[in-house]
Amino acid sequence: MFKQTPPMGWNSWNTFEYNINDKLIRETADAMVSTGLRDAGYEYLVIDDCWSMPTRGADGRLRPDPEKFPEGIKPVADYVHSKGLKFGMYSCAGPVTCAHFPGSFDNEFLDAETFASWGVDFLKYDYCLHSQLTEGKVLYRRMGAALENCGRDILFSACTWGADNTWEWIKETSASMWRSTNDIHDNWESIKEIIRQQIPLFPYHGQGCFNDMDMLVVGIHGESRFIGDGMNETQYKTHFSAWSMFGSPLMIGCDIRNMSDTTKKILMNRDLIAINQDPACRQVHLLKKDFRLDVDVFVRQLSGGEFVIGIFNLTDRDNRASFTLDQLGLNPSLHKTLRMREIWTGEEMTVQNSYVLRQIKNCDCEVWRCKIVDA
Looking at residue 94, the DSSP 8-state letter turns out to be S
SS3 174: coil
pLDDT in tens, 289-330: 666 667 899 999 999 999 999 999 999 999 999 999 999 999
Q: Which residues are catalytic?
A: 126, 183
For residue 223, name the pLDDT band (cuts at 50, 70, 90). Answer: confident
Give the residue with greater pLDDT, 163 vs 133.
Answer: 163
Longest dimension (CA), the chain: 75
Residues 234, 267: contact at Cβ < 8 Å? no
Asked if residues 252 and 216 have their Cβ atoms less than 8 Å apart, the reply is yes
Among 276, 327, 335, 334, smallest CA distance to 303 is for 276
CB within 8 Å of 112: residues ≥ 6 apart: 123, 143, 146, 147, 149, 150, 154
> 185 phi and psi, to 5 degrees?
-125, 155
194 touches 184 (CB < 8 A): yes
Strand partners, 311: 297, 366
Hey, which residues does 289 pair with through a beta bridge?
296
Task: State the amino acid at position 13 in one-letter form.
Answer: W
CA gap 298, 290 in Å, rounded: 12
**Confidence at 225, pLDDT banded by 50, 70, 90:** low
**Quick check: 362 and 232 in contact, CB under 8 A?**
no
- Over residues 249-283, the pLDDT tens digits come to 999 999 999 999 999 999 999 999 999 999 999 99
Condensed to tens digits (0 to 9), the pLDDT of residues 320-373 reads 999 999 999 999 999 999 999 999 999 999 999 999 999 999 999 999 999 999
Mean pLDDT of the chain: 95
